[in-house]
Amino acid sequence: MTPSNTTPLLSVRNLRVGLQTSHGQLEALRGVDFEMQRGDTLGLIGESGCGKSLTALAIMGLLPERATVSGSIALNGTDLTQLSDEALCTLRGTRMAMIFQEPMTALNPLHPIWKQIAEPLQLHQGMDLVSAKARALELLERVQLPRARERLDNYPHQLSGGQRQRVMISIALACQPDILIADEPTTALDVTVQKEVLALIRQLVAEDGMGLLLISHDLGLMRDQVERVMVMYGGAVVESAPTKALFGMRAHPYSQGLFAARPQLGLKRGTRLQTIAGNVPEIFNWPQGCAFADRCAYVQDNCRQALPQLELVPGTHDGIDENVADKSRRVNAHWVRCPEWQKLEASA
Amino acid sequence: MKSPHQVLLDVQHVSQQYALPKPSLFAKAGHIQALKDVSFQLTAGKSMGIVGESGSGKSTLARLVMALEKPTQGKLFFNGNDLNALPQDQLRIARSDFQMVFQDPYGSLDPRQKVLYIVTEPLHSTLSSGSGQLPSTQDLKDRATFALTEVGLRASDLDKYPHEFSGGQRQRIAIARALITRPSLIVADEPVSALDVSVQAQVLNLMMDLQDRFGLSYLFVSHDLAVINLMCDDVIVLQHGQVVEAGSADEIFQRPQHPYTQALLAAIPGLSQ
């Protein structure tokens, strides 16, 4: 299949991932659907164990060996789940790239940074060492590493956390990928450094027209960085909306709880935060239906039987093609996986 | 119980230097000035927040207050006692009045010990040195049960190991361990940074409840300004080991004076809209 204007950059359909655990084979992703075009910025938000990193790893083809995948992940129309390891290796680094949370462990401590940037260039583009080094310098200058020329021969330990993350970004961008996946890229950094690195990512993504899939637990960060957010809980996307719409109104009880639990500047000293009753269930305790059912004040019997259907939240229909039957494909729609969301809205 | 308005902790002109490894055999060893002339007072029952980025000296200050290190200059008084002038055995007894909660609930609990031992360990170490009689096994168990119930866990949890708990529950165990000696001060070094948002809210609420109930003071170290704003009456902002701004939390967060404080506030994501 050749990419065309109608082929989305990335199309994830009914993605299910099973993991081998001490409790047997368990489904850790329970049908994730979304679509991205070039230039789209999409955020995945949720708490530990909800499946956001697993979604990223599944797209990159980096799941643990005994994981099972069903559904489809199409990049420019090519289904990645059907590719051989070799073919996937070629796409990884050239068409899609990933930045991880901890730049110290993601970089190789034994090689100078220029070699690590040159590696994908030699591997994927057949560059010789001299031109790869020259390109490495250009890339380091592009990610605004101060005194880039002197730093080419530095080792990771000689750089600060923020500088290392810039190096990671330059490696990810080396082969000009179509999509950049950033998994908590600034969580290990100080706030002022985080601000600079996020601005850099935003700028580079806009310049190259890449798709950005940003994973974070930080709601405030999402607000600044992405146009659309998906909230995940218990291996499923429970709500998806343009960022503005989501910050205006949360339709899912979990999204509401998550937003309300944040401490925000301006709260009076000693104000008790709103909490969500109960705890995030372990994967082997996930209910058959909605994973949030046991903590939800609005739970119905049906919620416990099967994952609830998607429902559209009206009022955010700008530019949505009503003819697309599959709600998850209406990219600008605000949808929620909760049959009771209207009661929620009424009580809010 | 301390009377209100009494100064619980008095930090006077404290500096801390660490020697760097010698670059070569005959070279002079360099120094890092981790803290420089830091002073503040913490009133009983109040909470003080320490804000700053990595390397600013936050954790060094926490270690000094816990008397885990001696400052190169300056003095720290806890309840009027000079912490670094107390003889070892008295310091040990004094320690029961200030306890610490660490950032990483996975690294700070001994994986080979049951919760009962973990939670009662401060009693062993502070009481075994002469002055106090170590309580009976039953008494230890009762006190551990009480501490666990205070933090929202159950008596049946005493026989479990740390790996059987989630991150939030582990942090509750760490808080129970800090509470068991009935301290006046808890030094909390990034106590909720490793926790998810919804779990963080539960732990912060718990810490506020405990403060109301026991009249505790917190010395609260965090990089999260919103958390400090919620938990603390007063704040000091550290940069490169120096206090660049100090005052009431309301004042500092609403009208930051120092450029560094302003930069920290401006860097919080999601506030620009």
DSSP state of A102: -
Residues of chain A found within 8 Å of residue B223, distances taken between Cβ atoms: 190-191
Question: Is A190's CB within 8 Å of B271's CB?
Answer: no
pLDDT digits (tens, 9 = 90+) for A288-328: 999 999 999 999 999 999 999 999 998 755 555 555 556 56
Q: What is the mean pLDDT of residues A151-156?
A: 94
Q: Do B204 and B173 form a contact (C-beta atoms < 8 A)?
A: no
Whether the CB of B231 is below 8 Å from some CB of chain A: the reply is: yes
Residue A103: the pLDDT is 75
The pLDDT of residue A4: 47
Mean pLDDT of A63-68: 91
pTM of the shown model: 0.89
A276 contacts on B by Cβ (under 8 Å): 198
Q: Which pLDDT band holds residue B106 (cuts at 50, 70, 90)?
A: confident
Q: Which among B54, B166, B270 has the least Cβ separation from residue A279? A: B166
Using pLDDT thresholds of 50, 70 and 90, give the confidence band for residue B3: low
Q: Which residues of B touch A195 (CB under 8 A)?
A: 266-267, 269
Give the mean pLDDT of chain A: 90
User: What residues of chain A lie within 8 A of the CB of B197, using their CB?
Assistant: 47, 217, 219, 258, 261-262
- Which of B76, B69, B108, B39 has the alpha carbon at shortest distance from B185? B76
B chain contacts of residue A53, beta-carbon cutoff 8 Å: none
B224 contacts in A (CB within 8 Å)?
263
Give the pLDDT confidence score for residue A324 in this predicted structure.
59
Indicate if the alpha-carbon torsion angle B196, B203, B189, B167 is positive or negative.
Answer: negative
Contact across the interface for A280 and B232, Cβ inside 8 Å: no
Per-residue pLDDT tens over the stretch B120-174: 999 887 766 555 567 788 889 999 999 999 998 999 999 999 998 888 899 999 9
Asked if A275 lies within 8 A of B273 by C-beta distance, the reply is: no
Structural domains of chain B, ranges and CATH numbers in brackets: 1-19+31-86+185-267 (3.40.50.300), 105-183 (no CATH)
Closest by CA position to A255, among listed B197, B265, B203: B197
Nearest CB to B229; choose among A218, A265, A272:
A265
Residue of B106, B165, B197 best to disrupt the A interface, most CBs of A under 10 A = B197
Closest Cα in chain B, distance from residue A306 (Å): 25
A261 vs B contacts (CB less than 8 Å): 197-198, 200-201
What percentage of chain A reaches a pLDDT higher than 90? Answer: 76
Please count the helices (runs of H) and the strands (runs of E) in chain B: 9, 10
Burial grade of A284 (CB within 10 A; 0-12, 13-18, 19 or more): exposed
Contact A191 B231 (CB under 8 A): no
Classify burial at A247, counting beta carbons within 10 Å of its beta carbon; exposed 0-12, middle 13-18, buried 19 or more. Answer: middle
A234 chain-B contacts, CB cut-off 8 A: none
Radius of gyration of chain B (CA): 19
A:B CB pairs within 8 Å: 109
pLDDT surpasses 70 at A10: yes
Measure in Å the smallest separation between the Cα of B176 and chain A Cα atoms.
Answer: 19
Q: What is the pLDDT of residue A1?
A: 41
**Residue from the list B198, B249, B253 with its beta carbon closest to the beta carbon of A261:** B198
Q: What phi, psi does B165 have (nearest 5°)? A: -115, 155
Looking up tokens 């760097």, which residue turns up?
Answer: B20
Instruction: Using a CB–CB cutoff of 8 Å, tell me whether B268 touches chain A.
Output: yes
CB contacts, 8 Å: B205 with chain A: 272-273, 275
Count of alpha carbons within 13 Å of A207, Cβ hemisphere only? 10
CA distance A279 to chain B (A): 8
Side chain identity, residue A46? G
Q: What angle do CA B104, B41, B189 make, to 5 degrees?
A: 5
- Which among B216, B230, B244, B261 is the top mutation candidate for probing chain A, defined by the most A β-carbons within 10 Å of its own β-carbon? B230
pLDDT bin (cut points 50, 70, 90) of residue A102 is confident
For A268, name the nearest residue in chain B, comparing CA atoms only: B230
Q: Is B146 helix (H, G, I), strand (E, B) or coil?
A: helix
pLDDT of residue B87: 93
pLDDT at site A188: 83
Q: Give the tens place of pLDDT for each residue, A159-192.
A: 998 999 999 999 999 999 999 999 999 988 888 8
Confidence of residue A3 (pLDDT cuts 50, 70, 90): very low
Contacts of A274 in chain B (CB under 8 A): 201
Rounded Cα distance, B4 and B43, in Å: 8
Span A43-61, mean pLDDT? 94
Instruction: Please report, rounded to a whole number, the percentage of residues in chain B having pLDDT higher than 90.
Output: 71
**pLDDT at A101 (0 to 100):** 85
- Identify whether the C-beta of residue B226 lies closer than 8 Å to the C-beta of residue B233: no
The values of phi and psi at residue B116, to 5°, are -55, -45
Strands across the sheet with B217-221, in order? B98-101, B185-189, B217-221, B47-51, B234-239, B242-248
Q: B1 pLDDT band (50/70/90 cuts)?
A: very low
With 0-12 CB in 10 A as exposed, 13-18 as middle and 19+ as buried, what is B216?
buried
Strand partners, B31: B19
Residues of chain A found within 8 Å of residue B271, distances taken between Cβ atoms: 220, 265
Q: Is B29 at the interface with chain A, CB within 8 A?
A: no
pLDDT band at residue A127, thresholds of 50, 70 and 90?
very high
Kindly list the residues of chain A whose beta carbon comes within 8 Å of any beta carbon in chain B.
47-48, 161, 190-195, 198, 217-225, 247, 257-258, 261-267, 269-276, 279-280
Which of A219, A266, A272 minimises the CB distance to B270?
A219
Stated as kind and residue range, the H or E segment containing B229 is helix B225-231
- In this prediction the ipTM stands at 0.86
Check if B133 contacts A (Cβ < 8 Å): no
**Residue A302: exposure state from Cβ atoms within 10 A (0-12, 13-18, ≥19):** middle
User: Range with the lowest mean pLDDT among B3-7, B78-82, B149-153?
Assistant: B3-7
pLDDT tens for residues B193-242? 888 888 899 999 999 999 999 999 999 999 899 999 999 999 999 999 99
Instruction: Answer yes or no: do A267 and B231 touch at CB < 8 A.
Output: no
**Long-range CB pairs of B29-33, under 8 A, 24+ apart, other chains included:** B33/B240, B33/B241
Burial class (CB in 10 A: 0-12, 13-18, 19+), B34: buried
Smallest Cβ–Cβ distance between B267 and the set A194, A274, A276 belongs to A194
